[in-house]
Amino acid sequence: MKIVTANEFKLDREVDYGTPEQNEAVRTIIAAVRSEGDGALRRLSKEFDGVDLQELRVSEAEIEAAYDHVDAEFIEALRQAAANIRAFHEKQKRVSWMDLQDNGSLLGQIIRPLQRVGLYVPGGKAAYPSSVLMNAIPALVAGVPEIVMVTPPATAGEEGINPHILVAAAEAGVREIYRVGGAQAVAALAYGTESIRAADKIVGPGNIYVALAKRAVFGVVDIDMIAGPTDIVVLADEAADPEFIAADLLAQAEHDELSPAILVTPSRTLAQQVRSEVERQLSLLPRKAIAAVSVAEKGAIVVVADLDEGIRVVNAIAPEHTELLVADPFAVLPRIENAGAIFLGAYSPEPVGDYFAGPNHVLPTNGTARFSSPLNVDDFIKKSSVISYSKEALLANGRQIMTLARNEGLEGHARAIEVRLQKEGK
């Protein structure tokens, strides 16, 4: 793991827009689903997942049977996690409001849940039950009445869905599940087919084809942010435990060869300790092949002059996950401007947030914490403005409105006011 100064450190980030071939493939898939519906879903599932789908929808019986294939310890932990996630997101709920004006007018803002949300869940090795909870629960807390999940079969050539995914869905409260994945599933959620009605928004992670499909249908439906590689920055001082830090960096690095895991510290001693400790722990890690690449190519230990410079480095990176392993993390917290989630102190390693504590693990990656937020209840609501002007208010302000409309050359706008003033003899 390289040790560098703040000046030497540079994190290259590019948004993956896919190759022209990938984009063309996605356009073709979307067009096929739009024109052929379920037929295209079956044909593409055969082509990409090697499976002849009978029923697209996962039956209640299959969902119930999934419980026989997961152990009790998993279910218990999942239920506690779901309860924590629910409790945290309940605090994000908002209410509609109306404001009575002095002139008898009412202005307000109505908050409503979206009607139907589509949740994409990857299959294969990247099938994460925790992601099912993290994506579904905020929507349910928002009051979304229809949540529909799409996910490809777990194993090439077979219809079955990963039972842990089905149990997580059932525990969250999702019962409408289709065994289809890839760009074709995104297209189905955006445009609808005979079997799968269109949704208003699509959330959830996926491979490059899923990401490109989401980008392509953005505007027809809403989408969540397009995720880049996951990252972590640990800001630590000399008192921090190098063993903890190394473990936390590796927990990030094991995700993906492109995942940056970065330590920022004013202590050169700690930097060297962590470097040794990363090497030691890495050699014992089942996913060491992946983690070794990300540590070597994307990881870094940035030795800074002091904590102030360290905070500047953190804010410039805008990490998805930020750990504050410093003597007084609450003194540093107000100065962290860009971060998806902030973990304070020695007993808040990032996996606490990934799985359990309650805040969402769907976080802004790739530096987008500069402008975006953890997935939250607001992502599943819509607002409507309400304007009820009184006659008194329109008579008092009508001329000013007409002045502004005429200045913009929109005489029709002015006349919509004028016709009312005239009727009142003004």
Residues 330-349 that bind a copy of itself (CB under 8 A): 330, 333, 336-349
Candidate list 220, 229, 239, 332; residue touching a copy of itself; CB under 8 A: 220
Candidate list 189, 226, 233, 302; residue touching a copy of itself; CB under 8 A: 226
- 317: number of Cβ within 10 Å: 24
* C-beta of residue 135 within 8 angstroms of C-beta of residue 375: yes
Is the CA virtual torsion 350, 355, 356, 361 positive or negative?
positive
CB of residue 357 to a copy of itself, shortest distance in Å? 5
- Which residues between 251 and 280 bind a copy of itself (CB under 8 A)? 251, 253-255
- Minimum CB distance to a copy of itself smaller for 221 or for 236: 221
Candidate list 28, 415, 425, 426; residue touching a copy of itself; CB under 8 A: 415
The answer to whether residue 15 forms part of the interface with a copy of itself (CB under 8 A) is yes
- Minimum CB distance to a copy of itself smaller for 195 or for 281: 281
CB-neighbour burial class of residue 265 (10 A; exposed 0-12, middle 13-18, buried 19+): buried
- Which residues between 282 and 301 bind a copy of itself (CB under 8 A)? 285-287, 291
CB of residue 53 to a copy of itself, shortest distance in Å? 26
Residue 15 — φ and ψ, nearest 5°?
A: -80, 135
Candidate list 3, 106, 293, 316; residue touching a copy of itself; CB under 8 A: 106
Give the integer Cα–Cα distance in Å for 113 and 92: 13
Angle, alpha carbons 16-362-299 (nearest 5°)? 60
- Minimum CB distance to a copy of itself smaller for 226 or for 271: 226
Which segment (36-44, 50-58, 86-94, 265-273) binds a copy of itself by CB under 8 A? 86-94
64 flagged as catalytic: no
The answer to whether residue 48 forms part of the interface with a copy of itself (CB under 8 A) is no
- Minimum CB distance to a copy of itself smaller for 45 or for 131: 131
Which segment (35-43, 148-156, 295-303, 404-412) binds a copy of itself by CB under 8 A? 404-412
Candidate list 222, 231, 237, 256; residue touching a copy of itself; CB under 8 A: 222
Q: Which residue is catalytic, options 164, 254, 277, 321?
A: 321
Candidate list 241, 267, 309, 316; residue touching a copy of itself; CB under 8 A: 241
90 flagged as catalytic: no
Q: Which residues are annotated as a binding site for NAD(+)?
A: 120, 184, 207
First CA to last CA distance, the chain: 78
CB of residue 403 to a copy of itself, shortest distance in Å? 4
User: Maximum distance among all alpha carbons in the chain?
Assistant: 87
Contact map string, positions 64 to 83, toward a copy of itself, x by CB under 8 A: ---------xx-xxx-xx--
Q: Which residue is catalytic, options 320, 323, 350, 361?
A: 320
Burial 214-224 (b: 16+ CB within 10 A, else e): bbbbeeebbbb
Give the integer Cα–Cα distance in Å for 383 and 71: 42
The residue type found at 308 is: D
Which segment (41-49, 55-63, 267-275, 401-409) binds a copy of itself by CB under 8 A? 401-409
Give the integer Cα–Cα distance in Å for 53 and 41: 9
- Which residues between 364 and 393 bind a copy of itself (CB under 8 A)? 364, 366, 368-374, 376, 378, 381-391, 393
Which segment (149-157, 170-178, 215-223, 303-311) binds a copy of itself by CB under 8 A? 215-223
- Which residues between 130 and 189 bind a copy of itself (CB under 8 A)? 130, 164
Q: Which long-range contacts (CB under 8 A, 24 or more apart) does 406-412 make?
A: none
Candidate list 92, 155, 195, 207; residue touching a copy of itself; CB under 8 A: 92
Count residues near a copy of itself (CB under 8 A): 125
- Minimum CB distance to a copy of itself smaller for 6 or for 394: 394
The set of catalytic residues is 320-321
